């Protein structure tokens, strides 16, 4: 595993993480003082964000289901735990933006190469009530069902057990 965001694991195949970058900030309060450059007082951590790039080769290796899960995670708006494959925890994040580019289209209009840009933003952890449903993926399963337009029966089953049938 190269990294994971909640229920999505980036491996070499089928969902390949090809690179990532991070941005971290500190917050400062500026105090106006006559005649000198304003002194700054550190007031804590500022926003942190990550940009990830990944590729899929669906014709050869599949993996479009992983893209559906990423979409559902983003649509849920719930914080997910972000960790590198080395075991380094990077904390709780939300998926702020997904950008998907298909190239070398097959006859069905799906790219033979699918490039995915993922924008993450640091977040507080989930509330105590949501923690278990996030870890089990129950909330994500419900969002996948909604995005795939499953009927009410399948959706209510997913809501009760966290499993789609």
- Give 80-106 pLDDT, tens digit per residue: 999 999 999 999 999 999 999 999 999
Residue 103 or residue 144, greater confidence: 103
Task: State the sign of the Cα–Cα–Cα–Cα dihedral 57, 112, 63, 101.
Answer: positive
**How far is it, in rounded angstroms, from Cα 102 to Cα 161?**
34
**How far is it, in rounded angstroms, from Cα 19 to Cα 11?**
12
**How far is it, in rounded angstroms, from Cα 51 to Cα 99?**
11
Place of tokens 């337009």: 149
Domains of the chain and any CATH numbers = 3-25+45-127 (2.40.30)
- Closest by Cα among 50, 65, 75 to 14: 65
Angle at 158 between CA 155 and CA 162, to 5 degrees: 160
Question: pLDDT tens across 47-70, in order?
Answer: 999 999 999 999 999 999 999 999
């Amino acid at each position: 595993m190269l990294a994971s965001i909640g229920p999505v694991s980036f491996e070499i195949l089928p969902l390949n993480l090809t690179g990532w970058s991070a941005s971290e900030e500190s917050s400062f309060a500026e105090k106006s003082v006559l005649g000198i450059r304003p002194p700054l007082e550190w007031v804590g951590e500022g926003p942190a964000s990550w940009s990830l790039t990944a590729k899929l080769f669906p014709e050869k290796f599949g993996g479009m289901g992983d893209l559906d899960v990423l979409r559902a995670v983003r649509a849920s708006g719930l914080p997910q735990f972000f960790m590198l494959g080395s075991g380094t925890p990077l904390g709780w994040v939300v998926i702020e933006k997904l950008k998907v580019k298909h190239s070398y289209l097959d006859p069905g209009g799906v790219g033979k190469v699918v490039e995915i840009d993922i924008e993450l933003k640091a977040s507080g952890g989930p509330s105590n009530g949501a923690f278990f449903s996030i870890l089990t993926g129950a909330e994500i399963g419900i969002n996948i069902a909604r995005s795939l337009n499953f009927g009410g029966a399948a959706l209510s089953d997913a809501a009760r057990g966290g499993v789609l049938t």
